[in-house]
Structure 1
Amino acid sequence: MAAEADIGEGASAKKGVPKLFIIIGAAALVVVLGGAGLFFFLSKGTAEAEHAAGEHGAVIEAPHSFIFNLPPMIINLNKDGEGDAVMKLTVALEVADEAMMTEIQPRLAKVVDAFQVYLRELRRSDLEGSAGIYRLKEELLRRVNVSIYPSRVESVLFKEILVQ
């Protein structure tokens, strides 16, 4: 009987080895298929970008914009508890085409007036931090677009901001 027990253990050990190979093979297959799927999923976006660039790899150019420089402005800011404050501001306007530059030229006095009226009401504390400068930029863009309507300016670019 002891011999039969040894034979039984040897037979079960032989059956256990193929199960181990099947489990390892299945796990490896899942990893390989998952990696292949991830590769195709991530490379799909780059293939579309290459196709959009053209067959010969041509670069798509961004539309050109033109810069219209305004004269520098020196503004007395509204008084707050800190005393007198002066701001020197140099601004450029980004427009879509050259025709827009010729449309802005006769309306330049209206643009500068709209800027001066708004800027004189600002306090030094209104211009602190990047959020204050961003609000200033957005407000100037809104005012210039109202002044030159129906024409439109794409963005306001700060060349110089000095607050003393």
Structure 2
Amino acid sequence: MSTAVAATEAPPARRGKGRLFVILGVVLLLLAGGGAGAAFFLKLGPFAEAAAEAGEAAAEHAPPPAPPVFVEIPDIVANLNVGNRRATFVRLRSRLEVARAEDVAVAQAAMPRLLDLFTTYLRETRPEELRGSAGTHRLREELLARANLATRAGAVTDVLFVEMIVQ
């Protein structure tokens, strides 16, 4: 019976020192990472001046950005998806922003397809989906994806709303 008791009672394990070293290592790692992150964001350290000079030199030699080019889209009037309720319409005046002046011809050539994709999307949209800035942002993203699909070139960089009336 004494051997069974001795087998179940094991000497206490020395886990205290190992656990202490792990915790100390994690704390030191967090402090070092925080200090490096602060130095990076505050532009401190030996490379801050070199990086600033390189950025200024690149800015001096960089060509000025090309002004944006816009393509007018004809007004779109579409009935919204309201189910059995009274008909609700949306009137949308918008413009496409294209990356280069050469892309204007591509957008103009794709205009019938563009109008079809925009109108089809708007007809499936419910009035609640157009409310608020989140609805407008979602509509912009969807129309931008369809504009790039229609031009098949990825030339459209943004869709700008001139007027949007839901009634």
Band the TM-score falls in, shorter-chain normalisation: 0.5 to 0.7
Match of 1:123 in 2: 126
SS of 1:84's partner is coil
Q: How many residues end up aligned between the 2 structures?
A: 128
Stretches of structure 1 lacking an aligned partner (at least 5 in a row): 1-37
Match of 2:151 in 1: 148
Shift of 1:65: 2.1
Identity in percent:
32
Q: TM-score, normalised by structure 1?
A: 0.65
Match of 2:73 in 1: 70
The structure-2 alpha-carbon separation of the partners of 1:153 and 1:80, relative to structure 1 and needing over 3 Å to count, comes to same
Give the 4+ runs in structure 1 shifted more than 4 A.
Answer: 44-47, 57-60
SS of 1:83's partner is coil
Higher Cα radius of gyration: 1
Shift of 1:147: 1.2
Match of 2:140 in 1: 137
Stretches of structure 2 lacking an aligned partner (at least 5 in a row): 1-38
Q: Does 1:158 pair with 2:157?
A: no
Match of 2:19 in 1: none
Question: What amino acid sits opposite 1:111 in the alignment?
Answer: L
Q: TM-score, normalised by structure 2?
A: 0.64
- The structure in which a higher percent of residues are helix is 1
Q: Cα RMSD (Å) of the superposition?
A: 3.0
SS of 1:97's partner is coil
